[in-house]
Every structure is written in C-alpha cells, then in structure tokens.
Amino acid sequence: MRSNREIKKAARQHVIGDGNTFQIALSLSLGLIFWRFIYGLINASSGKYTDLMHSATAVLNNDAGASGPFLEKVQAYAPGLMGIMLVNGVISGILALGASWAFVMWRLSKGNPTRPVRLSLRFFKPDTIKDSVILSAVRYIIITVGTMFFIVPGIVFALSFAMAPFLYAADVQTKRAPRGVTAYLRASSEMMRGYRMQLLWLNLSFIGWYILTSLTRGLLGVYVIPYYQATIGEFYLARQIDIEKNIK
C-alpha cells in the first residue's frame, strides 16, 4: 500500500496541478464548503450554543462556581444541540462523500469532469438520498456514542467505518443493489484491519492546516477542504488497489 506521503502528493497534484485543476477541485467541494459556512452561522446565531460555550470557557478557566451552571445548561440544551449536530453530521457526511467520490471518479477517468458541482451532489438524488442519509446517520451516531465513552472507542469506530461510504458509492456507481448498513460497516472494518493507524496519522497530519484555517476565519478552507477530500479519496483508491493486488 502507498505511504501517506505518496497519497497526499497525489491528492495535491489533483488539487493544485494548475489553475483549471484547482477550479475543478474547488467546485467538487463547493457544497461542503458552503454548508460548513452556513452551519457556522447557525451556531454563531444560536443563543443556547453561545451561552454553553461561554460557560464551558469559564469552567476551563477554573472560574469558581462555574461547573454547576455549566452542567445544568448541558442538561437543558443537550437534546436540541444533539439534534442540530446530528443534522450537521448527516449533511456533512453526504457532502463529504460526494466530494471525495467525485475525486475518485476524476482520478479513475483521467479526464476532467464536465459538471463537477452536480457530480459532487450525486448522493442527494432521489435514488440515493434515503440510503445515504441512513448510512451517514447510523455511522455518525455510533461514532458519537463511542466518543462519549472515553473518546478512544469513538476514534476506533471512526477509523474502522471510514470506508463504508466509499463501498456504498462503489455499489451505486456499478449499479449494484445497495447492501444493508451493517454490511457496509462490516466490510469497511475488514478493509481497514491493519490500516487504522495509517489513516489516523493521515488525519493527524492535517491538524496544522485546520489551525491555519481557524486563524484565517475559515478562508483557507477553500484549499484545505478540497485537499482533505481528495486525500481521503486517494486513501480509498490506494487501499482498493492493494486489496485487488493481493487477490491476484
């Protein structure tokens, strides 16, 4: 299997190979970039979210007496915030899959897509939206619940099930009948056996980019988001090619 360095190099070539390449890469990730901007505005305008963040900051600053009110607010606001987070997780998951899978198809076809934005929204079409929502929601809930239990289980679930959306997308692409959610999660877990740490390090290598994106108030996201989605697409391709070689 290719190293993370090789995977990221291939992704960068697809994102910033030339001006036209970057325009296509940006178009493939436009839906995800737009949604993250909208979601940020929703959080910024939410009184409950802002109030909870202020209380959390007070707790982190060791403000005496802040922990009691913070826990009360968590209990009061949790249902609404969890609902919003679930919606965000599902929409972000489908948009991320659309962007990454579009990069995969771009790479395999070796020709520039003619309608990149439409291609990236493939999984919002009537024939895929139901399965896309269910898979994204179940995966998000499992990872979130796992994260609530000492964080580590959530990380393991996230790494194990990372390829499930791609396996579903491959079935859609080849017009095979969609399998059940459990089948995709199991297949992804099997596919990632022995490669979870490589994917973990690949994700950790983007921390610096995320910090810079935060410092630029999200502006750098127009490069980082396409770069990351292309990288995850390259990881899937590398893993798939490796599996096919072992079968032969």
Q: Tens digit of pLDDT for each residue in 52-69?
A: 566 666 655 666 555 667
Q: Are 10 and 241 in contact (CB under 8 A)?
A: no
Tell me the pLDDT tens digit for each residue of 141-182: 999 888 887 789 999 999 999 999 999 999 999 999 999 999
pLDDT band at 184 (very low <50, low <70, confident <90, very high): very high
Instruction: Please state, for a pLDDT cut of 70, what percent of the chain lies above it.
Output: 84
Q: Which DSSP letter does residue 60 get?
A: H
Distance CA(22)–CA(195), nearest Å, equals 29
Q: What is the mean pLDDT of residues 11-22?
A: 84
- Full-prediction pTM beyond 0.75? yes
Distance CA(42)–CA(30), nearest Å, equals 18
pLDDT band at 75 (very low <50, low <70, confident <90, very high): low
Angle, vertex CA 94, rays to CA 110 and CA 195, nearest 5: 70
pLDDT band at 244 (very low <50, low <70, confident <90, very high): confident
